[in-house]
Amino acid sequence: MPVYDQNYRPWEGRLLEKPRTWWVIARTGIRLLWQRWMIALLFFASFPFIVRTVQIYFMNRVGDASKLGDLGKNLDIDAGFFQGFLKNQEFILLLILVTAGAGLIANDRRFKALQIYFSRPVSFPDYICGKWLILAFYGGLATCIPALLLFIIQWLLSGSEAFLRQFFWIPFSVLGFSVTVLLVLGGLMLLLSSISSARGAAVLFFAVIWFGEILRKILIRIPELGLLSLQANLRQVGSVFFGTERPFEFSAVWAAVVLAAFVAGCILALRMRVRPTEVVK
Protein backbone atom coordinates (compact mmCIF):
# COMPACT_ATOMS: atom_id res chain seq x y z
CA MET A 1 0.00 0.00 0.00
CA PRO A 2 1.67 3.22 -1.08
CA VAL A 3 2.34 5.88 1.51
CA TYR A 4 1.97 9.44 0.35
CA ASP A 5 3.88 12.30 1.87
CA GLN A 6 1.54 14.83 3.38
CA ASN A 7 2.88 18.32 3.02
CA TYR A 8 1.42 21.16 5.05
CA ARG A 9 1.44 24.72 3.93
CA PRO A 10 2.56 26.90 6.83
CA TRP A 11 0.24 29.64 7.95
CA GLU A 12 1.80 32.99 7.24
CA GLY A 13 -0.82 35.21 8.79
CA ARG A 14 -0.36 37.52 11.72
CA LEU A 15 -1.68 36.18 15.01
CA LEU A 16 -3.52 38.83 16.99
CA GLU A 17 -2.74 37.93 20.58
CA LYS A 18 -5.03 40.48 22.20
CA PRO A 19 -7.92 41.60 20.00
CA ARG A 20 -9.99 44.53 21.14
CA THR A 21 -12.50 42.38 22.96
CA TRP A 22 -13.00 45.11 25.55
CA TRP A 23 -14.54 47.25 22.83
CA VAL A 24 -16.88 44.45 21.77
CA ILE A 25 -18.04 43.99 25.38
CA ALA A 26 -18.53 47.73 25.86
CA ARG A 27 -20.36 48.25 22.56
CA THR A 28 -22.69 45.32 23.13
CA GLY A 29 -23.46 46.36 26.70
CA ILE A 30 -24.18 49.96 25.68
CA ARG A 31 -26.55 48.82 22.96
CA LEU A 32 -28.41 46.40 25.23
CA LEU A 33 -28.88 49.03 27.93
CA TRP A 34 -30.28 51.63 25.52
CA GLN A 35 -33.85 51.03 26.70
CA ARG A 36 -36.76 53.30 27.60
CA TRP A 37 -35.87 53.46 31.27
CA MET A 38 -32.29 54.52 30.51
CA ILE A 39 -33.47 57.12 28.02
CA ALA A 40 -35.90 58.42 30.66
CA LEU A 41 -33.10 58.78 33.21
CA LEU A 42 -30.93 60.65 30.73
CA PHE A 43 -33.90 62.85 29.87
CA PHE A 44 -34.32 63.87 33.52
CA ALA A 45 -30.56 64.35 33.77
CA SER A 46 -30.79 66.98 31.01
CA PHE A 47 -32.99 69.36 33.04
CA PRO A 48 -30.09 70.89 35.05
CA PHE A 49 -28.22 71.34 31.78
CA ILE A 50 -31.14 73.28 30.31
CA VAL A 51 -31.35 75.45 33.45
CA ARG A 52 -27.63 76.21 33.35
CA THR A 53 -27.85 77.03 29.65
CA VAL A 54 -30.59 79.58 30.36
CA GLN A 55 -28.45 81.04 33.15
CA ILE A 56 -25.49 81.39 30.79
CA TYR A 57 -27.69 83.09 28.21
CA PHE A 58 -29.06 85.68 30.64
CA MET A 59 -25.66 86.33 32.19
CA ASN A 60 -24.19 87.07 28.78
CA ARG A 61 -27.12 89.29 27.83
CA VAL A 62 -27.37 91.22 31.13
CA GLY A 63 -23.64 91.25 31.88
CA ASP A 64 -24.01 92.11 35.57
CA ALA A 65 -25.45 89.53 37.96
CA SER A 66 -26.60 92.27 40.36
CA LYS A 67 -29.16 93.44 37.81
CA LEU A 68 -30.97 90.14 38.15
CA GLY A 69 -31.50 90.56 41.88
CA ASP A 70 -31.93 87.28 43.74
CA LEU A 71 -31.86 85.41 40.44
CA GLY A 72 -28.31 86.61 39.86
CA LYS A 73 -26.84 85.15 43.03
CA ASN A 74 -24.10 82.58 42.49
CA LEU A 75 -24.36 82.93 38.72
CA ASP A 76 -20.79 83.95 38.00
CA ILE A 77 -19.56 81.88 35.07
CA ASP A 78 -16.28 80.65 36.51
CA ALA A 79 -14.73 77.36 37.60
CA GLY A 80 -17.16 77.08 40.50
CA PHE A 81 -20.07 77.25 38.06
CA PHE A 82 -18.97 74.05 36.30
CA GLN A 83 -18.00 72.35 39.54
CA GLY A 84 -21.44 73.15 40.92
CA PHE A 85 -23.11 71.65 37.88
CA LEU A 86 -21.23 68.37 38.31
CA LYS A 87 -22.07 68.36 42.02
CA ASN A 88 -25.78 68.79 41.25
CA GLN A 89 -25.61 65.77 38.95
CA GLU A 90 -24.46 63.44 41.75
CA PHE A 91 -27.82 61.87 42.56
CA ILE A 92 -28.89 61.24 38.96
CA LEU A 93 -25.41 59.82 38.32
CA LEU A 94 -25.88 57.35 41.18
CA LEU A 95 -29.22 56.27 39.71
CA ILE A 96 -27.69 55.78 36.27
CA LEU A 97 -24.77 53.76 37.63
CA VAL A 98 -27.10 51.53 39.64
CA THR A 99 -29.50 51.04 36.74
CA ALA A 100 -26.73 50.31 34.25
CA GLY A 101 -24.25 48.48 36.47
CA ALA A 102 -26.05 46.45 39.12
CA GLY A 103 -26.43 43.46 36.83
CA LEU A 104 -23.33 43.79 34.67
CA ILE A 105 -21.36 41.06 36.47
CA ALA A 106 -24.11 39.67 38.68
CA ASN A 107 -26.11 38.49 35.65
CA ASP A 108 -22.98 36.97 34.07
CA ARG A 109 -22.41 34.96 37.20
CA ARG A 110 -26.08 34.05 37.48
CA PHE A 111 -26.30 32.69 33.93
CA LYS A 112 -22.79 31.14 33.97
CA ALA A 113 -21.63 33.49 31.23
CA LEU A 114 -18.13 34.04 32.65
CA GLN A 115 -17.04 30.62 31.38
CA ILE A 116 -18.20 31.61 27.92
CA TYR A 117 -16.35 34.94 28.10
CA PHE A 118 -13.05 33.42 29.17
CA SER A 119 -13.21 30.48 26.79
CA ARG A 120 -12.48 33.10 24.14
CA PRO A 121 -9.50 35.47 23.83
CA VAL A 122 -10.82 37.66 26.65
CA SER A 123 -8.55 38.55 29.55
CA PHE A 124 -9.49 39.96 32.93
CA PRO A 125 -8.46 43.54 31.92
CA ASP A 126 -10.53 43.22 28.73
CA TYR A 127 -13.59 42.07 30.66
CA ILE A 128 -13.40 44.70 33.42
CA CYS A 129 -12.47 47.52 31.04
CA GLY A 130 -15.39 46.66 28.77
CA LYS A 131 -17.84 46.60 31.66
CA TRP A 132 -16.49 49.85 33.10
CA LEU A 133 -16.76 51.60 29.74
CA ILE A 134 -20.48 50.84 29.75
CA LEU A 135 -20.82 52.73 33.03
CA ALA A 136 -18.49 55.49 31.81
CA PHE A 137 -20.55 56.00 28.66
CA TYR A 138 -23.88 56.49 30.42
CA GLY A 139 -22.33 58.31 33.35
CA GLY A 140 -20.51 60.65 30.99
CA LEU A 141 -23.76 61.50 29.20
CA ALA A 142 -25.04 62.91 32.51
CA THR A 143 -21.88 64.64 33.72
CA CYS A 144 -18.87 65.17 31.48
CA ILE A 145 -20.60 65.75 28.12
CA PRO A 146 -23.14 68.37 29.29
CA ALA A 147 -20.46 70.17 31.33
CA LEU A 148 -18.25 70.44 28.24
CA LEU A 149 -21.24 71.64 26.20
CA LEU A 150 -21.89 74.34 28.80
CA PHE A 151 -18.29 75.50 28.43
CA ILE A 152 -18.66 75.68 24.65
CA ILE A 153 -21.98 77.56 24.94
CA GLN A 154 -20.44 80.09 27.33
CA TRP A 155 -17.47 80.53 25.01
CA LEU A 156 -19.70 81.13 21.97
CA LEU A 157 -22.11 83.49 23.76
CA SER A 158 -19.34 85.52 25.39
CA GLY A 159 -18.37 86.84 21.97
CA SER A 160 -14.70 87.23 22.87
CA GLU A 161 -11.57 85.21 23.51
CA ALA A 162 -11.16 86.58 27.04
CA PHE A 163 -13.18 83.78 28.62
CA LEU A 164 -11.23 81.11 26.74
CA ARG A 165 -7.89 82.65 27.67
CA GLN A 166 -8.86 82.83 31.33
CA PHE A 167 -10.55 79.44 31.69
CA PHE A 168 -8.98 77.31 28.95
CA TRP A 169 -8.12 74.69 31.57
CA ILE A 170 -11.71 74.01 32.65
CA PRO A 171 -12.41 71.29 30.01
CA PHE A 172 -9.39 69.37 31.30
CA SER A 173 -10.65 69.76 34.87
CA VAL A 174 -14.09 68.53 33.83
CA LEU A 175 -12.60 65.50 32.09
CA GLY A 176 -10.19 64.73 34.92
CA PHE A 177 -12.77 65.03 37.68
CA SER A 178 -15.43 63.11 35.73
CA VAL A 179 -13.03 60.22 35.06
CA THR A 180 -12.06 60.20 38.75
CA VAL A 181 -15.69 60.01 39.86
CA LEU A 182 -16.50 57.28 37.35
CA LEU A 183 -13.43 55.27 38.32
CA VAL A 184 -14.37 55.35 42.01
CA LEU A 185 -18.12 54.86 41.74
CA GLY A 186 -17.91 52.60 38.71
CA GLY A 187 -15.32 50.42 40.41
CA LEU A 188 -17.53 50.15 43.48
CA MET A 189 -20.56 49.25 41.35
CA LEU A 190 -18.68 46.50 39.50
CA LEU A 191 -17.30 45.08 42.74
CA LEU A 192 -20.72 44.91 44.38
CA SER A 193 -22.19 43.40 41.22
CA SER A 194 -19.58 40.64 41.39
CA ILE A 195 -20.37 39.66 44.99
CA SER A 196 -24.16 39.91 44.99
CA SER A 197 -27.28 39.73 42.89
CA ALA A 198 -28.40 42.72 40.83
CA ARG A 199 -30.86 43.85 43.50
CA GLY A 200 -28.39 43.25 46.30
CA ALA A 201 -25.71 45.20 44.46
CA ALA A 202 -28.07 48.18 44.06
CA VAL A 203 -28.93 48.20 47.78
CA LEU A 204 -25.30 47.79 48.83
CA PHE A 205 -24.19 50.57 46.50
CA PHE A 206 -26.43 53.17 48.13
CA ALA A 207 -25.61 51.77 51.57
CA VAL A 208 -21.86 52.20 51.06
CA ILE A 209 -22.27 55.69 49.58
CA TRP A 210 -24.64 57.01 52.23
CA PHE A 211 -23.21 55.25 55.29
CA GLY A 212 -19.88 57.03 55.02
CA GLU A 213 -21.61 60.37 54.46
CA ILE A 214 -23.96 59.88 57.42
CA LEU A 215 -21.02 58.87 59.62
CA ARG A 216 -19.11 61.99 58.57
CA LYS A 217 -22.04 64.25 59.49
CA ILE A 218 -22.51 62.54 62.85
CA LEU A 219 -18.82 62.89 63.72
CA ILE A 220 -18.41 66.28 62.09
CA ARG A 221 -16.28 67.51 65.01
CA ILE A 222 -13.53 65.14 63.87
CA PRO A 223 -12.67 66.40 60.37
CA GLU A 224 -10.31 63.53 59.59
CA LEU A 225 -13.21 61.06 59.70
CA GLY A 226 -14.47 62.71 56.55
CA LEU A 227 -11.98 60.44 54.77
CA LEU A 228 -14.46 57.60 55.39
CA SER A 229 -16.96 59.22 53.01
CA LEU A 230 -16.48 58.65 49.30
CA GLN A 231 -18.61 61.68 48.50
CA ALA A 232 -16.57 63.92 50.78
CA ASN A 233 -13.31 62.68 49.31
CA LEU A 234 -14.57 63.25 45.77
CA ARG A 235 -15.69 66.79 46.58
CA GLN A 236 -12.37 67.54 48.22
CA VAL A 237 -10.47 66.29 45.19
CA GLY A 238 -12.89 68.16 42.92
CA SER A 239 -11.93 71.43 44.58
CA VAL A 240 -8.33 70.73 43.54
CA PHE A 241 -9.35 70.09 39.92
CA PHE A 242 -11.30 73.36 39.72
CA GLY A 243 -9.12 75.48 42.01
CA THR A 244 -11.95 76.34 44.38
CA GLU A 245 -12.16 76.53 48.16
CA ARG A 246 -11.85 73.20 50.00
CA PRO A 247 -15.28 72.17 51.34
CA PHE A 248 -13.79 70.16 54.24
CA GLU A 249 -10.93 70.56 56.68
CA PHE A 250 -9.07 67.32 56.00
CA SER A 251 -6.21 67.18 53.51
CA ALA A 252 -7.02 66.93 49.80
CA VAL A 253 -3.83 64.88 49.36
CA TRP A 254 -5.10 62.28 51.80
CA ALA A 255 -8.46 62.30 50.03
CA ALA A 256 -6.70 61.49 46.74
CA VAL A 257 -4.69 58.72 48.44
CA VAL A 258 -7.86 57.19 49.90
CA LEU A 259 -9.61 57.25 46.51
CA ALA A 260 -6.60 55.72 44.74
CA ALA A 261 -6.37 52.97 47.36
CA PHE A 262 -10.11 52.38 47.08
CA VAL A 263 -9.94 51.91 43.29
CA ALA A 264 -6.93 49.60 43.64
CA GLY A 265 -8.80 47.58 46.28
CA CYS A 266 -11.82 47.26 43.99
CA ILE A 267 -9.63 45.96 41.16
CA LEU A 268 -7.92 43.41 43.41
CA ALA A 269 -11.25 42.23 44.81
CA LEU A 270 -12.69 41.96 41.30
CA ARG A 271 -9.67 39.91 40.29
CA MET A 272 -10.38 37.48 43.10
CA ARG A 273 -14.06 37.23 42.20
CA VAL A 274 -13.66 36.88 38.44
CA ARG A 275 -10.35 35.06 38.05
CA PRO A 276 -11.52 31.60 39.33
CA THR A 277 -13.64 31.17 36.21
CA GLU A 278 -10.93 32.34 33.82
CA VAL A 279 -9.60 29.67 31.46
CA VAL A 280 -5.85 29.27 31.81
CA LYS A 281 -3.97 28.81 28.55
Identify which of 141, 167, 173 has the alpha carbon closest to the alpha carbon of residue 155. Answer: 167
Whether the per-residue pLDDT at 71 is higher than 60: the answer is no
pLDDT over threshold 70, residue 38: yes
pLDDT at site 68: 56
- What is the structure's pLDDT at 278? 47
Is residue 81 over pLDDT 90? yes
Calculate mean pLDDT across residues 227-251. Answer: 93
Which segment of 50-54, 108-112, 164-168, 244-248 scores lowest on mean pLDDT?
Answer: 108-112
Across all residues in the chain, what is the average pLDDT?
A: 87
- What's 7's DSSP letter? -
Q: What average pLDDT does the segment 26-51 reach? A: 94
On the question of pLDDT at 169 being above 80, the answer is yes
pTM above 0.85, yes or no: yes
Range of weakest confidence among 94-98, 251-255, 272-276: 272-276
Whether the CB-CB separation of 196 and 204 falls below 8 Å is answered with yes
Q: 148: buried, middle or exposed (CB in 10 Å: 19+, 13-18, 0-12)? A: middle
Residue 159: what pLDDT?
77
**Could you give the CA distance from residue 189 to residue 182 in angstroms, rounded to a whole number?**
10
